[in-house]
Amino acid sequence: MAYEQLKLQNQLCFRLYTASRLIIQAYAPFFKELGITYPQYLVLLVLWEKDNRVISEITEQIGLETNTLTPLLQRMEKMGLIVRCKGQVDTRQRIIALTKEGKKLEEKAKEIPSCMLDTILDDDLKLSDLTAIAPQLDNIITHLK
Amino acid sequence: MAYEQLKLQNQLCFRLYTASRLIIQAYAPFFKELGITYPQYLVLLVLWEKDNRVISEITEQIGLETNTLTPLLQRMEKMGLIVRCKGQVDTRQRIIALTKEGKKLEEKAKEIPSCMLDTILDDDLKLSDLTAIAPQLDNIITHLK
DNA sequence: TTTTAATACATCGTACACGATGTAAAATAT
DNA sequence: ATATTTTACATCGTGTACGATGTATTAAAA
């Protein structure tokens, strides 16, 4: 007989992993429209909130390391969404700034969150259910960071 | 001023994505001990529960497609954890079976879940908090699948 | 039965993730 | 001032994810 604690359905992590993947997949059609990916969307969210960021600020906010972000930002630069300028004061730094193209995307993107909620929510799953789990997730995140 | 709904901290998906990544990172030391990765662990969980599975059963349970699982299973075969036998009745199928090596890992793995809980839980985050979010996550998963 | 369609996997290309390591510049210590 | 350490980011290698496409093989239709 299998150990109860090793059953797939008893793994909280598997639920988080699956829910995360499925929601990102649900976002996919919207991102395809904009020609971006989910992690690229996260970078844009950060920059739309405050432009001209040093890479360390972005890694801090998103929680991804430079070994993931550097190539990602290089792709976004190639796509014309951002520019990666050498820092003037500290030349080790890179200032990431939105291009006109990158700024324009915000107007198209602002509808995405509500569209996503329309996709996910129904009689069984209320907005209150989603907001209810946020504190627990924040708790896990804070504790593991 | 930035749109409120486009702030990173208002994104439920970002919380799920981050929590998922951080928990998998917390598992990493245990997996390193066993020489496996998180998705490989998921495959093992499925096989420990019931051995000799067809690939479609595994994709069904884990929720990953064959384009992810096939190479992953090929690596696990090369590592000596499983064998991938051609189906006898339907030769299109692949039967995935644990090797002695793969079965042996279960004994080492059975301690992992409780170790992980010890790592995550504290005064601010109780087991009840974790079990409380499971139904909501299942709700999201069911709805998006 | 022969054609057609569906199924079960495999392969390919692109983009993350992430541990490990490298590199140049800035900060600190001596 | 020079040596040492730290910081900020880049590069490399491996392993997922996943859309798109390919390939036998089985099932269903004509």
Q: Is B79 helix (H, G, I), strand (E, B) or coil?
A: coil
Position B31 scores a pLDDT of 97
> CB-CB: which of B6, B63, B116 is closest to A18?
B63
Position B121 scores a pLDDT of 86
Both tokens of A89, joined, read: 């004061």
Strands B94-98 and A82-86: unpaired
Position B1 scores a pLDDT of 67
Mean pLDDT in residue range A29-43:
97
* CATH level 2 (architecture), domain A24-110: Orthogonal Bundle (1.10)
* CATH level 2 (architecture), domain B12-110: Orthogonal Bundle (1.10)
**Bridge partners for B94 per DSSP:** B86
Query: How high does pLDDT run on average in chain A?
Result: 95
Position A130 scores a pLDDT of 87
Q: What is the pTM of this model?
A: 0.95
Residue with tokens 């324009």: A104
Series of mean pLDDT values for 10-residue runs along chain B (145 residues): 87 96 96 97 98 98 98 98 97 98 97 90 86 92 91
Contact positions of strand C to protein Cβ (< 7 A) = 7-13, 15-21, 24-27
B92 touches strand C (CB under 7 A): yes
Residue A125 has pLDDT above 90, yes or no: no
Confidence of residue A82 (pLDDT cuts 50, 70, 90): very high
Whether B120 and A132 lie within 8 Å, measured CB to CB: no
What's the rounded Cα separation, in Å, for the pair B11 and A134?
A: 9
Element holding A96 (H helix, E strand): strand A94-98
Residue A126 has pLDDT above 90, yes or no: no
Whether B24 and A13 lie within 8 Å, measured CB to CB: yes
Specify the nucleotide whose C1' lies closest to residue B32 (CA).
C19
Closest CA to B15 of A40, A19, A25: A19
Question: Which of the residue ranges A4-13, A50-59, B48-57 would you say has the lowest mean pLDDT?
Answer: A4-13
- Provide the sign of the torsion angle of the four alpha carbons B122, B125, B128, B134, taken in this order: negative
**pLDDT tens by residue, A86-102:** 999 999 999 999 999 99
Alpha helices by DSSP H, listed for chain B, are 12-34, 38-49, 55-62, 66-78, 100-109, 112-120, 127-144
Q: How far is CA A62 from CA A41, B51, B53, in A?
A: 11, 39, 38
What's the rounded Cα separation, in Å, for the pair A108 and A25?
A: 19
CB within 7 A of strand D (chain A, 58-77): 59, 66-67, 69-71, 73-74
Specify the nucleotide whose C1' lies closest to residue B93 (CA).
C8
Q: How many CB atoms lie within 10 A of CB B114?
A: 10
Confidence of residue A1 (pLDDT cuts 50, 70, 90): low
